[in-house]
Amino acid sequence: MKVSYILGRLISAIPTILLLTIIVFFSLHLVPGNVVDIMLGTQNYLNEEQIQKLYTDLGLDKPIIVQYFTWLKGIFTFDLGTSLRSGKAVSSLIAEKFPITLELALMSIFFSLIIGIPLGLISAVKQNSKYDYTFRVIGLIGLSAPVFWIGAIFIVIISSTFSDFSLFGFVDFFQEPFKNLQIMLVPSITLGIMIAAQIMRMTRNSMLDVLSQDYIKVAKAKGLKGKKVIFKHALRNGMIPVITTAGIQLGYLIGGTIVVESMFAIPGMGRLLLQAVNQRDYPVVQGIVAFIGILIVVLNILIDILYSVIDPRIELSD
Amino acid sequence: MEIKKLIRKFIKNPLNVISFVVLIFIILIALFPSVFAPYDPLEMDVNAFMTGPTKLHLFGTDQFGRDVLSRIIFGVQKSMQISFLAVILASLLGTSLGLIGGYFGTWVDQIIMRVIDAMFAFPAIILALFIIALFGASVQNLIIAIGVVYTPIFARTIRGSTISLKKQLFVVAGKALGKRNANIIIKDVLPNVFSILIVTFTTNFSTALLSEATLGFLGLGVPPPDPTLGGMIGNGSDYLLSAPWVALFPGMIIAIIVLSINIIGDGLRDTLDPRNIT
């Protein structure tokens, strides 16, 4: 039963991923003018022969459908072409930068959870108290404030109060782990706050639903202590909707890494994408955008599967 | 239900009223920026480069001696214009796709929804960035990019409501009476999804503003020297330690605008939710 659900879920992703690659690939061909002209821009430093070679190297002399399938095949063999600027393989660029973005994302998730869940929980348990109102207003502000503004405030406050705390100057985790964690701290809290606001709102709503259920009333009537009811009975069920919406948060999170990386000069995938956009390095842009799209589809499937494991009540037939 | 009753319900929450007043004020600023701005947003004051807030320049000046307050006021106009038109575009495209998919079902719906799913796989900001990367940054391209990014949300929401409306008696009866499909969709279905459309519009208008600001911050918004709120923060980030006001004031204004729209959105949802009508 479960295996067939998982298989079905995996198969259902195939058309989505195919369409996604079609969107990414053919959008590039919607660009007015020839791709090579755009790549070369105004600083055309190549001669006729080199341009001709570029055409053949990029496979642009073949029909567009053939070009698409070559590129699609490349995705599965992790061969996404080479950067027009650095000459490095796009796939090795992604492999080099993605772990940094992943670290940032994981640390942000960690902070968003340890901020969001307790605040949401207190808000729900003490509904309509002054804590509830305060946290709800904070949550709304967190949802509304642009992440780069929060980051800017952090930079101003921290550099004026703790002058010897280094905010910039990324180092690799495997070279200097402590320095790395220190540098990543403020960026991941900045990004974490944005997600924490969403998690707090969801935890609150979901816990309010759960706390009004009959089995919670029964547990209380049986004389169980308030804390035990909340932590042992309510929290586990209350967290389920929070996990299901994790898929939506992923998008925010990955979008947010671009902003935070460019703000704090972290050399991750987001910053690479932004650089590639500014330099019109199309193979890199195309590769990263397709990579992110596929990554999100796959992660969403994993979340669905995880969800069905956590909550056995869920009908697997869907 | 009467409009009066709905309004009374909406204004019962003081937060709704405050946000509404703030938003009206912001809209007035966006409509008539030159009335509110003390200076020309592009004018450089050679006697005041990066000066902090003073009586002459309430929010200080930037590295070219331009008045930050005036730039914010004109920036509000540009940002609101772009986001508003983008969400209008998204609601037109998304509503049409949602109505068609939801009403006709079958393979038409399948194709539309698959494309929508694929678009949903991209984080909003990445998709917008991709479109801007391909077509270049201009006001028109920003509207198209943000509009395309927000289309799937409208399509999904409207499709869901259309599917449930399709089974309602008045739609089924219309079909039995031989009404044309287009007629049913426009005259029977559309008015009934309108309240959902308004709520979706409000909540997404605020996130569209954030997207526009983010693109501006990343340097892919409206090209300089025209001010936009995100662009001002991006520019001001280079001087955060010496002149924090250049970046922090525009950010505060974005937060205030988005916050008031979010509160109104929450308020509208509660007011228009049929389960809450007493």
* Predicted local confidence at residue A188, as pLDDT: 94
Residue A231 neighbours by CB under 8 Å, 6+ apart: none
Q: List pLDDT tens digits, range A207-219.
A: 888 887 777 778 7
* Distance separating alpha carbons of residues A196 and A204, to the nearest angstrom: 12
Nearest to A152 among B206, B220, B248 (CB): B248
Q: List pLDDT tens digits, range A238-270.
A: 777 777 777 678 888 888 999 999 999 999 999
Rg over alpha carbons for chain A, rounded to the nearest Å, is 24
**A292, B123 Cβ separation under 8 angstroms:** yes
Which of left, alpha, beta for A127 (phi over 0: left; psi -120 to 50: alpha)? beta
Residue A67 neighbours by CB under 8 Å, 6+ apart: A25, A59, A60
pLDDT mean over B116-143? 87
Which chain B positions have a beta carbon within 8 Å of A23's beta carbon?
115, 118-119
* Predicted local confidence at residue A316, as pLDDT: 47
Nearest to B254 among A16, A149, A155 (CB): A149
DSSP category for residue B238: G
Tell me whether residues A146 and B217 touch, CB distance under 8 A. Answer: yes
Q: Considering only CB atoms, which residues of chain B are within 8 Å of chain A?
A: 114-115, 117-119, 121-126, 129-135, 206, 210, 213-214, 217-220, 230, 233-234, 236-237, 240-241, 244, 247-248, 251-252, 254-255, 258-259, 262-263
Q: Which residues pair with B260 in a beta bridge?
A: none
| pLDDT over threshold 70, residue A163 | yes
Please give the structure tokens belonging to residue B35. 């009335």
pLDDT mean over B211-225? 87
**A15, B121 Cβ separation under 8 angstroms:** no
Residue A43's pLDDT band, with cuts at 50, 70 and 90, is low
Highest-pLDDT range among A81-90, A186-195, A203-212, B132-141: A186-195
Strands (E), B147-248: none
Residue in chain A nearest B119 by alpha carbon? A20
Residue ranges of domains in chain B, CATH in brackets:
17-32+68-276 (1.10.3720.10)
- Burial track A285-310 (b if 16+ CB lie within 10 A, e otherwise): bbbbbbbbbbebbeebbebbeebbee
**B247, A152 Cβ separation under 8 angstroms:** yes
Which chain A positions have a beta carbon within 8 Å of B255's beta carbon?
141, 144-146, 149
Top-confidence residue, B6 or B24: B24
The percent of residues in chain A predicted with pLDDT above 70, rounded, is 90
Nearest to B134 among A28, A160, A252 (CB): A28
* Predicted local confidence at residue A102, as pLDDT: 92
pTM of the model: 0.85
Residue to substitute from B79, B107, B116, B125, interface A, most A β-carbons within 10 A: B125
Nearest CA of chain B to the CA of A312: how many Å?
Answer: 26
Rg over alpha carbons for chain B, rounded to the nearest Å, is 22
Is residue A182 less than 8 Å (CB to CB) from chain B? no
CATH no. for A98-281: 1.10.3720.10
* Predicted local confidence at residue A317, as pLDDT: 45
* Distance separating alpha carbons of residues B245 and B242, to the nearest angstrom: 9
With 0-12 CB in 10 A as exposed, 13-18 as middle and 19+ as buried, what is B184? buried
* Distance separating alpha carbons of residues A39 and B190, to the nearest angstrom: 45
Tell me whether residues B217 and A278 touch, CB distance under 8 A. Answer: no
* Predicted local confidence at residue A107, as pLDDT: 92
Is residue A19 less than 8 Å (CB to CB) from chain B? yes
Nearest to B255 among A28, A144, A262 (CB): A144
Contact map slice: A 252-291 vs B, CB within 8 A:
252, 254-255, 258-259, 262-263, 273-274, 276-278, 280, 285, 289
**What number of other Cβ atoms are within 10 A of residue B209's Cβ?**
27
pLDDT mean over B68-73? 86
Cis peptide before B33 (omega within 30 of 0): no
Nearest to A20 among B121, B124, B244 (CB): B121
* Distance separating alpha carbons of residues B101 and B105, to the nearest angstrom: 5
Residue in chain A nearest B126 by alpha carbon? A255
A123 residue type, one letter: S
Provide DSSP, A139-179: HHHHHHS-HHHHHHHHHHHHHHH-TT---S----TTT-HHH
**B150, B204 Cβ separation under 8 angstroms:** yes
Q: Where are the domains of chain A?
A: 98-281
Cα B15 to Cα A67, A294, B5, B264, distances in angstroms: 56, 41, 18, 8
Cα dihedral B252, B253, B258, B259, rounded to 10, equals: 60
